Each structure stands twice: as structure tokens, then as C-alpha cells.
Amino acid sequence: MPVFYGTEVASPLMLGTAQYPSPAILAAAFRASGAGIATVSLRREAGGGQDFLRLIEGLGVPILPNTAGCHSAREAITTAQMARELLGTDWIKLEVIGHTDLLSPDVFQLVEAARELTAQGFRVFPYCTEDLSVCDRLLAAGCEVLMPWGAPIGSGLGLANPHGLRALRAAFPDVPLVVDAGIGLPSHAAQAMEMGYDAVLLNTAVAKAGDPVAMARAMAGAIESGRAACAADPIEPRDMATPSTPVIGKAFLA
């Protein structure tokens, strides 16, 4: 199972807590998913008050607050400080948004915020791109986990740049990597795990599904299947056919 900042979590599935039809469906989806971490947007969920916090704490998994909606390093740092005070955790999923439509990371502000939060004792989980130079800078800033996007948040497009994600996995074989954002189908989640990623973080694909509980269960199965496939050392793709039946011993008719 994945280990983040010295903490082993029970499942490679990290599940968000926003946009569910009701608190009861949120709780049921979490139970069905077996998710190992619950992500919480401080800004989005603060309006739920103590009832929401009790619901999240009752899930029985580590909480990963995030800085969703922040557009500058200073804004993200302040939000992270508030999250630590409210939720009592040094973990923070760091989001600094650079493009309003795509919700893509502002990588310059992201690195700045990561460096400052690490200096303040936070355990930073940065939402980033698959760019190797950006990831290098995040690691130099003190991050011990990287969370490259699969596709824009909430898009459901899956892994838009599988080559880049494979290159990132190969470049940092010992760094915990999490595909974050863009997952729409269980097959997308399985693909990420087949590449050797340590975990998948998703929200919208479950929360906005017609049946969130059934989709949560499907995602859990896909992630476990992809993880098992990676461990089984799958065959490499080939350009040409390879016969599964050997020619030796085959009868030849004149």
C-alpha cells in the first residue's frame, strides 16, 4: 500500500468529499470505495460546519485538506494555515490555479508556496503537471510526494498525456506519485495504476455519477486490478504479431 510522509494508507484510492447529492450518499460511497484518504476543500466545505467535520472524521481515514480555489502562493499558504488549525493535520494538498477555465496549476506560484509551507512544517502534496522540470523543483522545495494531473479537474477525460506520465514515473522511481484530476471511468484509474503510480485521487467521477455508490465500488475494483497487473510485470507492446501457439511440433502437410 502507498506510504506518504512515513504513513502507510489502507488503499491507493484517494476520494474527494465535494458535490455529492447528500451526506448519506457521501458516507455510503466512501464505505463502498474503501478509500484510504479523504480530501477536503476548506473553502468549499467550511459552510457545512461541525456536522460536516463530524461526518468526515467518522469516515475513519486520514484527512487531506486542500487549497482548492487559490490563485496565488500567499492565498494558498493562508488557506493551508487555516486548514491545519481547523483539522489538526500537517498534510496539505497544495493547489494554486493558474488558468480559470482549465484549472491548470500555476507552477511558478506552486513551487513558491511549496517551499514556504515545507519550511513551516507542512507535508505538501502538490497538484502539478507532468513536466519533469517542475517536478524537480517541487522535490527541491521539500515535497516528498507529487500529484500530476491526468486531465483538467472534473473533465473526465482520463489520462491526456500517458507518455508524459510514464516518463515521470520512470524519472522518479522512488517518489510516491498520485494521478490527480481528470479521471472519469474505472478504466482510467486502472491505466494509472498499470503505469506504476502509487495512488489515484478522484472526486467528480464518483460524486456526479448517476449512482455514486456503485461508481465508487467500480473505481475500487479497477484500482486494485490495475495495481495487481503492474505487479504481474505485463508484456511490452509490440508492432508485430507474436504467435501464441509455437511452430515446433506442428504438423505440416505436403
188 closest CA partner among 165, 156, 153: 156
Flag whether 154 is marked binding.
Answer: yes
Asked if 17 and 24 count as a contact pair (C-beta separation under 8 A), the reply is no
Q: Hey, is 41 helix, strand or coil?
A: strand
The cell numbers describing 17, all together, are 468529499
Flag whether 203 is marked binding.
Answer: yes
Residues acting as catalytic residues? 93
Q: For residues 168 and 145, give the distance between their C-alpha atoms in angstroms, rounded to a whole number.
A: 12
Flag whether 181 is marked binding.
Answer: yes
Q: What are the φ and ψ backbone dihedral angles of 40, each rounded to 5 degrees?
A: -135, 125
Q: What is the full DSSP assignment across 25-37?
A: HHHHHHHHHT-SE
* CA 66 from centre of chain: 12
Q: Hey, is 179 helix, strand or coil?
A: strand
Instruction: Please give the DSSP secondary-structure letter assigned to residue 68.
Output: T
**Nearest-5° angle of CA 83, CA 88, CA 92?**
45
Binding-site residues from annotation for 1-deoxy-D-xylulose 5-phosphate: 154, 181-182, 203-204
Q: Residues comprising the binding site?
A: 154, 181-182, 203-204
